[in-house]
């Protein structure tokens, strides 16, 4: 199994149960030195798509999943890895148990553009359901869309 750092909509455990049914949640944590942003507006159905970019002053709340090989392939297809929409990146996740190496999806497009209000709301709801701190969720809800 490999370790996947889920952010944005994949923080929703119900969604991950459908997309990766053989892959249990291990923990939650933070990607320090990264920020959640949006890009690839021309690739999304309703605005820009979530991604990560390095930023030494920021952090992103993530959920760590032990991904089974069959679920790994399904997630890659869902995220459009073969189409060049997202690609995998190795990251370090800080959890209460220590630091873990994992992979995350990052958009293979330039940063910029605004997400739809619906998409941003789903991301905030997912973060809240995964146990993200209240101030983190409120910052998501206040973002421009």
Question: What DSSP letter does each residue of 10-23 carry, written as one string?
Answer: GG-HHHHHHH-TT-
In the three-class reduction of DSSP (H, G, I as helix; E, B as strand; rest coil), residue 25 is classed as strand
Q: Tell me the two tokens of residue 122.
A: 């789903």
Report the distance separating Cα 124 and Cα 97, nearest Å.
25
Query: Which candidate in 79, 99, 111, 122 is catalytic?
Result: 79
Q: What's the N-to-C CA distance of the chain in angstroms?
A: 36
Q: For the chain, what percentages of helix, strand and coil (3-state, to nearest 5) are there?
A: 30, 45, 25
Residue 79 designated active-site: yes
**Kind plus residue range of the DSSP H or E element containing 63:** strand 49-67
119 annotated among ligand-binding-site residues = yes
Report the distance separating Cα 101 and Cα 79, nearest Å.
20
Known binding-site residues for substrate equal: 119
Catalytic residues, by residue number, are: 79
Known binding-site residues equal: 119
């Amino acid at each position: 199994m490999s370790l996947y750092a889920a952010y944005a909509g994949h923080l929703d455990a119900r969604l991950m149960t459908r997309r990766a049914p053989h892959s249990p949640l291990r923990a939650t944590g933070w990607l320090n030195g990264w920020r959640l942003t949006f890009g690839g507006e021309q690739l999304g159905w309703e605005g820009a798509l979530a991604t990560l970019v390095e930023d030494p002053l920021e952090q992103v709340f993530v959920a760590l999943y032990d991904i089974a090989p069959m679920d790994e392939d399904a997630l890659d297809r869902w995220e459009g890895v073969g189409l060049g929409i997202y690609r995998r990146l190795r990251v370090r996740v800080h959890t209460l148990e220590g630091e873990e190496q994992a992979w995350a999806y990052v958009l293979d497009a330039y940063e910029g553009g605004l997400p739809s209000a619906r998409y941003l709301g789903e991301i905030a709801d997912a973060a809240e359901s995964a146990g993200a701190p209240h101030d983190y969720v409120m910052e998501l809800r206040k973002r421009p869309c």
